[in-house]
Amino acid sequence: MVTLNVNGQSHSYDGDTDIPLLWVIRDELGLTGTKFGCGKGLCGACTVHLGGVAVHSCSVTVADAAGKTIVTIEGLDPEGNHPVQRAWRETSAPQCGYCHAGQIMQAAALLAVTPKPSDQDILTAMSGNICRCGCYQRIAEAVRLASTGV
């Protein structure tokens, strides 16, 4: 039995702790905003904040996450109005939208550390997040907008 602190709430989980955190967040806690994309840390769809740092939840075991602060897209802002979320809406960034929770979590983590990123900072920070619909132009614009005030 481990305790997971997700979005400010404690959850106990009595299953195998050697599996990726992603599947407990999605299948056991029912927080499906965090997406499965590749299972190998290659696409960023499952990005969450672990101890304030953006991580691929497919590549972190439950055991490693236990006791740390976990924030998912559902917990990024109580009203869904984090500057990154607002910028995303302002630019109508998504097409299918599936990867965008991960994109937003990655962008929010970038801005937490680097509030005024350069264009190169944005491209570097966001390069781990794949969008197959190809919304990159607007994603770059949204991150820029979030950093300059929406």
Partner 1 sequence: MTHMFDMTSIEPGGIANVSRRFVMKGIVGSGALVLGASMLPRSAMSAWDTGADTMPGGTVNDPHVYVAIDPSGMVTIITNRSEMGTGARTSLPMVVADEMEADWLRVRVAQAPGDEKKYGNQDTDGSRSIRHFVQPMRQCGAAMRMMLEQAAATRWGVKVSEVRAENHKVVHLASGNMLGYGELAKAASALLTPPVDSLKLKDPRDFRYIGTGSIPIVDLFDITTGRATYGIDAKIPGMKFAVIARPPVVGGNLVSFDATEALKVPGVEKVVEVQGWPWPSKFMPVGGVAVVARNTGSAIKGRDKLKVVWDNGPNAQYDSVAFRKQMEETAANPCKVVRNDGDAEAALKSAAKVVTAQYYIPHLAHASMEPPNALVNVFQGKAGTECVAYAPTQSPGGCRDDLAKMLGIPVENVTVNVPLLGGGFGRKSKWDYVLEAALVSKATGAPIKVVWTREDDIQHDFYHTVSAERIDAGIDTNSKVIAWRHRSVAPTIMSTFKAGADHEAPFELGMGLVDNPFAIPNLRCENGQCQPFTRIGWFRSVSNIPHGFAVQSMVAEIAAALGRDPKDVLLELLGPDRIVDPRKSPEVADYWNYGDPFETYPIDTGRLRRVAEIAADQAGWGKPLPKGEGLGIAAHRSFLTYVATVVHAVVDDKGKLSIRQVDTAIDCGFHINPERIRSQIEGAAVMGLALAKHGQITFKDGRPQQTNFDGFVVARINDAPLDVRTHIVPADWNVPSSGVGEPGLPPFAPALCNAIFAATGKRIRSLPIGDQLKV
Give the one residue of 47, 65, 129, 146 binding partner 1; rule: CB under 8 A. 129
Q: Does 56 bind partner 1 (CB under 8 A)?
A: no
| Residue 117 makes contact with partner 1 by CB under 8 A | no
For residues 130 and 29, what is the distance between their CA atoms, to the nearest angstrom?
Answer: 25
Task: Considering the complex, state which of residue 96 and residue 112 has its C-beta at the smaller distance from partner 1.
Answer: 96
Q: For tokens 């995303």, name the residue.
A: 88
Closest CA to 33 of 12, 50, 47: 47
Coil, helix or strand at residue 96: coil
The answer to whether the CB of 104 falls within 8 A of the CB of 85 is yes
CB of 109 to partner 1, least distance (A): 15
Classified as helix, coil or strand, 131 is coil
Footprint of partner 1 (CB under 8 A):
15-16, 18-20, 22-24, 26-28, 30-40, 42-43, 45, 72-74, 76, 80, 85, 88-89, 92, 94-101, 104, 122-124, 126-140
